[in-house]
Amino acid sequence: MITVSAFAWVPDFAHGQVRDLRVRWALEEAGIPYRTRLLEQGDQDTPDYRAQQPFGQVPVLEENGETLFESGAIVLHIGERSEALLPTDKAARARATQWLIAALNSIEPFAMQVATIDIFAQGEEWARLRRPGAVEFLQRRLTGLSNALGDKPYLDGDSFTAGDLMMTTVLRIKEEISGEFPNLKAYVARCTARPAFQRALAAQIGDFRKAA
């Protein structure tokens, strides 16, 4: 069975945001069972874990003695087993991969920049000066995404893919900003209403509660 590493505890603000959620969601969409390996404080720095994940992050996927890290790589790996995530049509599969990478490269760094300012630098003068520009840049990227989505249910039309899964998790990082765009707000609501997402989120929060 697949094992996914996750933290046993994170601060409340990170509940529902830690990146093992992406892998749990993908596995739920694909209908693949899994179990979690919960890391206590410091476990991520042990030599054994660093051999699997050089940066001490989660998640790591383990299966049949093989390991894989980075949530984007893992979601694509899972998608290879499931048309629920990656279509069999080559062009459609390429577009799904395109949107997954766009989420990680073109949106997430700028959402994380604002989130980092808001969470870790509140009250600091440099943060007060930097935040407006960071928000403006994120909004420009979200404008491009909003225009690309238009009135489609999902990024590539009528079918949910791994690209939507990744983009949704990225938009949730600063949902109050992405929510300024009505179609993106509706898009996130549509994707997170999926039963697979709800199961994945409940499982992550459940692990935090069990470890509390």
Q: What is the Cα–Cα distance from 194 to 172, expressed in whole angstroms? A: 15
pLDDT at 33: 98
Any residues with CB less than 8 A from the CB of 18 and at least 6 apart, and which? 6, 7, 10, 58, 204
pLDDT at position 211 is 73
What are the boundaries of each domain within the chain? 2-84+196-211, 90-194
Residues (pLDDT < 50) of the chain are none
CATH 3.40.30.10 fits 2-84+196-211, yes or no: yes
90-194: CATH architecture: Up-down Bundle (1.20)
- pLDDT, tens digit, 9 for 90 and up, residues 167-193: 999 999 999 999 999 999 999 999 999
**In which residue are the tokens 């009528």 written?**
158
Tokens at 67, concatenated? 């390991």
Q: Let me know: does 17 contact 173? Beta carbons within 8 Å.
A: yes
Contacts (Cβ under 8 Å, ≥6 apart) of 156: 92, 95, 96, 99, 163
Q: Do domains 2-84+196-211 and 90-194 have the same CATH topology?
A: no
